[in-house]
Amino acid sequence: MKKILLLFLAFLIHQTVLAQQEDTDQKFVDSVEKSFKYQYGVIKLGNGIGSISVPKGFKYLEPVQAEKVLTDYWGNPKGENLTLGLLLREDQNILDAGGYVFNIQYDEIGYVKDDDADDIDYDELLKEIQEETKEENKEREKAGYEPVTIVGWAAKPFYDKDRKILHWAKEAKFGKATENTLNYNIRVLGRKGVLVLNAIASMGNLAQVQKDVPQVLNIVQFEEGFTYADFNPDLDEVATWTIGGLVAGKVLAKTGILVMLFKFWKFILIGLAAVAGPIWRRITGRKEEKEEEMAVTEVENPSSEEEKVS
């Protein structure tokens, strides 16, 4: 009976701690959300290459605040050209565990020729990416990071030759994570490089991301002189990348940000366990100590029945 009461008491304490932790977490999320100022309408990108039109139902977080999210809250290392801003749904907070965002970047890699677009065997390309990732994992694990498995296409690559927009999605698994990562990529080709929109999401977000992608494809507007049609072969550099090369890319670099998003929420759960654990040990520990004392007493002072046998 005492054991049942102890277990029930432990359950009540755990539930209380859980409720307190959830309240603390929500207050933290709310305070972070209030610190950000979102923008709407037409946004001029900081590097001067063009602008984006924030679609209906979305909001935009400018680069300084976006970098704070990526580095301070999601734990990514700081670096050059980390972000030109984040695009997220209007009904979503920046730290919502079940949400997703598009990180906006610009890769000045030169003019990407699209001659190979109709000739790419994407199933064969996927096999090559998977093999290359296995090789990259050797170095990744030596550096103390989890290995990455490319499960397959979450959305097969598609290139819109008229609008010069390429998009595709990979499904990736980090280590022994229970939920797979969604790596959804959009590349808008320009004269001197490509505008990059990477969805930071989980596979559970796939349906929502696919629903939103058609709106996001239309948001980029290059300034005059920076469009794909403005290419001048006598003046401009041609990228070493092709359409197939953009899809193959460096897998690990493109999925690193998303995995830190999940680690943020794992950290909260670990914090909860750290609080609840000692309470449980105090309850069960006392019981174990008492049982040990009783066992020692029985050895030192055998019962009357045992004395009769001897």
Distance of alpha carbon 40 from alpha carbon 59, whole angstroms:
6
Over range 159-164, report the average pLDDT: 96
| Confidence category of residue 12, pLDDT binned at 50, 70, 90 | low
Half-sphere exposure of 222 (CA within 13 A, CB side): 22
High-pLDDT (> 70) share of the chain, % = 70
Q: Using an 8 Å Cβ cutoff, are 38 and 59 in contact?
A: yes
Residue 263: predicted pLDDT: 41
CA distances from 121 to 117, 126, 127, 241 (A): 10, 9, 10, 16
More confident residue, 4 or 227: 227
H-type alpha helices, the chain: 2-34, 63-68, 122-142, 206-216, 243-248, 251-300, 304-309
Q: Which region holds residue 76: left if phi is over 0, alpha if psi is between -120 and 50, else beta?
A: beta
For tokens 């300034």, the residue is: 223
Dump pLDDT digits (tens) for 58-92.
999 999 999 998 888 877 777 788 899 999 999 99
Tokens in use for 292?
A: 């040990």
| Confidence category of residue 35, pLDDT binned at 50, 70, 90 | confident
CB atoms within 10 A of CB 111: 21
High-pLDDT (> 90) share of the chain, % = 47
User: Kind of pairing, strands 194-202 and 101-107?
Assistant: antiparallel
* Burial class of 307 by CB neighbour count within 10 A (0 to 12, 13 to 18, 19+): exposed
For the chain, domains (ranges, CATH) are: 36-266 (3.40.1000.10)
Distance of alpha carbon 244 from alpha carbon 127, whole angstroms:
13
Q: Using an 8 Å Cβ cutoff, are 185 and 167 in contact?
A: yes
> Which residues is 188 bridged to in the sheet?
165, 195
Output phi, psi for 24, to 5 deg: -65, -45
Dump pLDDT digits (tens) for 142-155.
888 788 899 999 99
Output phi, psi for 187, to 5 deg: -125, 125
pTM here? 0.73
Dump pLDDT digits (tens) for 100-130.
999 999 999 999 999 999 999 999 999 999 9
Reduce the DSSP state of residue 115 to 3 states and report it: coil
> Which residues is 61 bridged to in the sheet?
86
Flag whether pLDDT at 280 surpasses 60.
no
Among 269, 248, 255, 44, residue whose Cα is nearest residue 129: 248
Among 207, 174, 26, 186, residue whose Cα is nearest residue 100: 207
DSSP string, 140-198: HHHTTPPPEEEEEEEEEEEEETTTTEEEEEEEEEETT-SSPEEEEEEEEE-SSSEEEEE
For the chain, the first-to-last Cα distance in angstroms comes to: 34
Distance of alpha carbon 308 from alpha carbon 300, whole angstroms:
16
Over range 2-8, report the average pLDDT: 63
Residue 38: predicted pLDDT: 95
User: Kind of pairing, strands 238-242 and 111-113?
Assistant: parallel
Q: How high does pLDDT run on average in the chain?
A: 78
Residue 181: predicted pLDDT: 87
Flag whether pLDDT at 37 surpasses 60.
yes
Dump pLDDT digits (tens) for 228-264.
999 999 999 999 889 999 998 754 343 344 344 444 4
More confident residue, 161 or 35: 161
Distance of alpha carbon 47 from alpha carbon 41, whole angstroms:
18
User: Kind of pairing, strands 58-61 and 50-53?
Assistant: unpaired
